[in-house]
Structure 1
Amino acid sequence: MQFKAIVLGALAATGVIAEDIVRACGTHDPTDAHIEQSKQFATEEAALALTGNESFRVAATTTVKVYVHVVASSQSKSGGYLSTSDVSGQISAMNKAYAPYGYQFTLAGTDFTVNSNWATNAYGSAEEPMKKALRKGNYADLNLYLVKDMGSILGFATFPDESGPGQSNFHLDGVVVASGTVPGGSLTNFNLGLTSVHEAGHWFGLYHTFQGGCSGQGGVDPIHNYMDYTYDTCYEEFTAGQNARINSYWKNYRAGK
């Protein structure tokens, strides 16, 4: 199953819904193996926290190299062709979001491709050929694809270990988002660059806040959490537990690979 049909729970309840689009993420459900690994990390993180041992944390600031691939249908703004300042703005938005948690992103390279099929079918048949042709770097490097149109979703990502080093689908690793989500982009309510923050969270190993459904009574939808579904203006935080999980996946799956 994919998260392409889930809409803004908390906002829907209050009648506040974007007229043309709602946040929907096309990231596939994690595999059973990935869920078991997350449970193992959760147990380890809890045990370490109880003893005051913070060895699961990443020392100082970790810098992640980002290769940005702008994929447009034409060399025009309406065709999804972004400028270098658009790309810089996206990296800045990611840095602002992740800086409090010990992660920073540095732009390692930007390329621009005009290919109408890739630009409109990246969430489908064009994903593999596009990524095979454009992906750069190693498993610790984030490949961010900014494409013209994502259809009914805003973006999707791969979890760590699904396409690790040496595996035949290594080239699939990365994040794909609609170019209209960059700061100042065309997608109203979702144009502060935070879709890439949300999808990068998956790339780091995080799940949606509603992953697996909710069975408890009461409670409040965490609309300020980057891994929830909400407008960009609501996003502002990760939890300490999410920070620990990012660190666990980074140290065990991506760092140095």
Structure 2
Amino acid sequence: MRFARTACLAAVAGIGATALTVVGIAAPAQAAVVDAGQACLTPDTNEAAAAARGGGSGLDHRGISAAEQRAITRQTNNQLAAKGVTAASGATALVARKVPVYVHVMRDRAGRGNVTNRQVARQVAVLNRDFSGLGYRFDLVRIDRFKNTAWHKDRRSGHYRAVTRKGGARALNIWLVDFAYLGIATFPWDYARRGAVDGIRVQYNSLPGGNIPHYSEGRTATHETGHWLGLFHTFQGGCTSLNDQVDDTPAQASPTSGCPAGRDSCPLDGTDPIHNYMDYSWDSCYSEFTQGQAARAHKMWTAYRA
């Protein structure tokens, strides 16, 4: 998810530098400071939502085509079969779903990005609250702090993730950085070939106590963790029958911006699931995962992380 930026510059109190103002975003997390004295406004559009979450592509993960979606389904079923689990029972397989969490705070040499232990604890509490209905428990194992300006700005991300990542496939690594995105995630089916960088990168100002209007309640990490568990966006594939491969999330033509009640972007059954954590709504708009998403996440956990 990438920030939508205006051309305005506003002095950021307490940071001692000039920061780009971020406005008009509509996705589950953003990081930037808006100076209330600035008369800058970007229209609150669906394009802005996509830009906030994933840059020009509108994605906060690598692109997945419909053909690859089907290939992943076949791969997942093969993985489950190899473990003696059928595709149907894989959704409810009794596997341990305790998730050890390692948080990597990437601060720069001036100390920017150095979130507090309390903010990290509050973020993990948000994850536990949001995923409680899915049967996941997130346990904070440790917080590592690094003073490296390049890493803070998410430069050489492949390298810094590889040298700092902790734990195995079940371990959620969260790197807190300052970049033009709200968050970026890896998928569970990529762990076998990209395990060294498995995890989520999150804009540090999107944690609880951050200062991004509409995106500082910790729901960016919830959204990205959904991807880490194998969930697609609710608008994956647009207005198609394949969509996000979850039956109880209505098809959605485009990402949501804000929290527009009754939005219906697709002629297929149902209104847009604007309150779903896998849309691009405001943090305050989020409130649910569905049973279908729970079943898919459990299947992916069993196949790739158990």
Place the TM-score, normalised by the shorter chain, in its bin.
Answer: 0.7 to 0.9
Partner residue of 1:131 out of 161, 164, 169: 161
Provide the C-alpha distance between the structure 1 equivalents of 2:162 and 2:52, rounded to a whole number of angstroms.
Answer: 27
Partner residue of 2:71 out of 12, 36, 46: 36
Per the alignment, residue 130 of structure 2 pairs with 97
Q: Given the alignment of the two structures, is residue 71 of structure 1 paired with residue 101 of structure 2, yes or no?
A: no
Q: Letter of the aligned partner of 1:187 in structure 2?
A: I
What's the C-alpha RMSD, in Å, of the aligned pairs?
2.9
Q: Letter of the aligned partner of 1:217 in structure 2?
A: P
Provide the C-alpha distance between the structure 1 equivalents of 2:206 and 2:70, rounded to a whole number of angstroms.
Answer: 29
- Structure showing greater radius of gyration is 2
Distance 1:55 1:226, change over 3 A: same
User: More displaced, 109-118 or 225-234?
Assistant: 109-118
How far 1:213 sits from its partner (Å)? Answer: 1.5
Q: Given the alignment of the two structures, is residue 24 of structure 1 paired with residue 83 of structure 2, yes or no?
A: no
1:171-213: per-residue Cα shift (whole Å, max 9, x none)? 1111000000111112121111110000000000010000112
Per the alignment, residue 157 of structure 1 pairs with 185
Q: Given the alignment of the two structures, is residue 211 of structure 1 paired with residue 233 of structure 2, yes or no?
A: no
How far 1:97 sits from its partner (Å)? Answer: 0.2
1:130-150: per-residue Cα shift (whole Å, max 9, x none)? 102210110111111111x12
Indicate the SS of the match to 1:38. Answer: helix
TM-score between both structures, scaled by the size of structure 1: 0.79
How far 1:62 sits from its partner (Å)? Answer: 2.1
Provide the C-alpha distance between the structure 2 equivalents of 1:198 and 1:59, rounded to a whole number of angstroms.
Answer: 24
How far 1:246 sits from its partner (Å)? Answer: 0.3
How far 1:54 sits from its partner (Å)? Answer: 5.2
Distance 1:16 1:41, change over 3 A: same
| Matched residues, number | 228
User: More displaced, 29-38 or 155-164?
Assistant: 29-38
Provide the C-alpha distance between the structure 2 equivalents of 1:188 and 1:5, rounded to a whole number of angstroms.
Answer: 12
Per the alignment, residue 252 of structure 2 pairs with none
Q: Letter of the aligned partner of 1:162 in structure 2?
A: D
Indicate the SS of the match to 1:187. Answer: coil
TM-score between both structures, scaled by the size of structure 2: 0.67
Q: Letter of the aligned partner of 2:217 in structure 1?
A: L
Per the alignment, residue 115 of structure 2 pairs with 82
Per the alignment, residue 234 of structure 1 pairs with 285
Q: Given the alignment of the two structures, is residue 115 of structure 1 paired with residue 145 of structure 2, yes or no?
A: no
1:206-234: per-residue Cα shift (whole Å, max 9, x none)? 10000112254164221100000010001
Unaligned stretches of 5+ in structure 1? 10-14, 43-52
Distance 1:134 1:68, change over 3 A: same
Q: Identity, % of aligned pairs?
A: 35
How far 1:163 sits from its partner (Å)? Answer: 2.9
Provide the C-alpha distance between the structure 2 equivalents of 1:138 and 1:90, rounded to a whole number of angstroms.
Answer: 21
